[in-house]
Amino acid sequence: MSSQGVQGYEPRTGKAFGDPVPTTSDSGVGEIVGAAARAFPAWSGLASAERGAVLERLADALDAESEVLIATADSETALGVPRLTTELKRTTNQLRLFAGVLAEGSYREATIDSPDPDIIPPRPDLRRILQPLGVVAVFSASNFPFAFSVAGGDTASALAAGCPVVVKAHSAHPQTSRETARVVASVLPEGVFGIVYGTEAGRVLVQHPLVKAVGFTGSTAGGRALFDLAQGRPEPIPFYGELGSVNPVVVLPSAAANRSAELATGFAQSLTMGVGQFCTNPGLLFAPSSIVDALAEAVGGAGGGAMLTERMRDSYQSTVDSLIAHSSVRLVATGSGPEEGWGVAPRLYQVSLEDFVADKEKLTEECFGPAGIVVTYDDPAQLPEVLRGLEGSLTATVHADPDDHALAAAVLDEIRRFAGRLVFNGWPTGVAVSWAMHHGGPWPATTSPLHTSVGATGVRRWLAPVTYQSWPDALLPPELQNANPLNIPRREDGVLVVP
């Protein structure tokens, strides 16, 4: 970031892209948050279906501008047109999913208890519903310029909840952010959406008294710093950070024996997809040593690419160098990668299970980029105990053939303690946007193990309950009125009632 603004770059060449986007001053942040707060009553007051219709229009508008958005993002991220085309579609489908969530209506958790004067303590008429928190700050990610960025999952879910959103643009793609923000602002009512640029603007945003919750996707260090700011406020606020993750994969013996070539290809693809810049990148693979050659061949044949920023490239190189220098780690494959710009090549390392256990902390540090470590085991019975000590992760994966199922059950019982999504005979990269998706996990995968940044339930992060006690029907929100005029699912005297 230059002194006069946030400068975008082309990772493929390392050259500046476009003019710097001016950083937002402290007072500028205040004005944008103030406008969002003023827009809150009207935006949250819209009927769910009306808010859903706006999200649909936003999705259509983004799709209509896909050409310029994708071209700009490709210049700034080097992620390539096919991937960015898919990512933008995923982003607009995400907005449409939330429109569906709003239409279905149970996201407000309408709950009605009829009075009972005879129990202890006596129960009056009680009606509970979720309502939006207020202005939400969203810190967008470097590695998903659409899906976890200006109009990404945090923004979509917060808007769906009824919260105005102020995005802090990621410095890796200021032009993409600005172009996307232009489209978003053209569709949403005034004030409901705002965007700020610059690191200091982000800090001011998190501490603004009118900001009531924060969504963040990024590094553990960056997320922790902002989390600490949010929790240290006079009024602490919910901070939903999706941070680092090593995403261990466990290949059990029969699977390794039966499908080594398929596993090697699948692993190399998942490891190097998007130049390894996925939060679900499989950085750690537990496998019998019999498949190391196949893995090495696959990773050695894989191509790298330009990383998103110069700093990430440098960080990748320094991690890679430190692994090479590690006494018990062996480099077993190096793929190809561009020399120019911020290019890197994939790497595969190998370490024995015993040596891994001896230096677990170092060897489970996330390496952002296309580098992985295969941990080779002799005795698969040791796996559950080794896995027990791993820290929080967004995903954990098991490859198992029928003969492995007993061991898979024992492994499953460990990985479900530290990972948010458990993948069977698949690869962790690629996160579907749906009702049952959970994209989260214990620290340091996230700052808030109860919540997800992808999927329908992501909307809950921005909603808080309120209970109405003994109010006249006409003064209640329609969701809680006796006649259920919106015809939504409700819990009535403890029983779920679906119209």
Q: Cβ 394 to a second copy, closest distance in Å?
A: 10
Kindly give the residue spans of alpha helices, DSSP state H, lying in 65-152.
Answer: 66-77, 81-104
Q: Which residues contact 151 (CB under 8 A, 6 or more apart)?
A: 58, 62, 91, 95, 180, 183, 184
Q: CB-wise, 120 or 483, nearer to a second copy?
A: 120
Task: Report residue 420 CA to chain centroid gap.
Answer: 12
CA angle 280, 180, 313 (to 5 degrees): 45
Q: Where on the phi/psi map is residue 98: left (φ > 0), alpha (ψ -120 to 50), or beta?
A: alpha
Check: CB of residue 175 under 8 Å from CB of residue 76.
yes
Which amino acid is present at 188? Answer: L
Check: CB of residue 65 under 8 Å from CB of residue 178.
no
Q: Cβ 19 to a second copy, closest distance in Å?
A: 33
How far is Cα 115 from Cα 117, in angstroms, rounded to an integer? Answer: 6
340 as an active site residue: the answer is no
End-to-end CA distance of the chain: 54
Active-site entry in 242, 366, 414, 479: 242
Kindly give the residue spans of alpha helices, DSSP state H, lying in 194-343.
Answer: 199-207, 220-232, 253-258, 260-272, 292-300, 310-324
242 as an active site residue: the answer is yes
How far is Cα 317 from Cα 367, in angstroms, rounded to an integer? Answer: 10
Check: CB of residue 91 under 8 Å from CB of residue 454.
no
How far is Cα 240 from Cα 280, in angstroms, rounded to an integer? Answer: 17
Q: CB-wise, 140 or 452, nearer to a second copy?
A: 452
What 472-476 contacts at long range (C-beta under 8 Å, 24+ apart), as own/partner pairs, is 476/127
Q: Cβ 228 to a second copy, closest distance in Å?
A: 8
Rg (CA), the chain: 24
123 beta partners: 116
Q: Cβ 347 to a second copy, closest distance in Å?
A: 27
Residues annotated as part of the active site: 242, 279
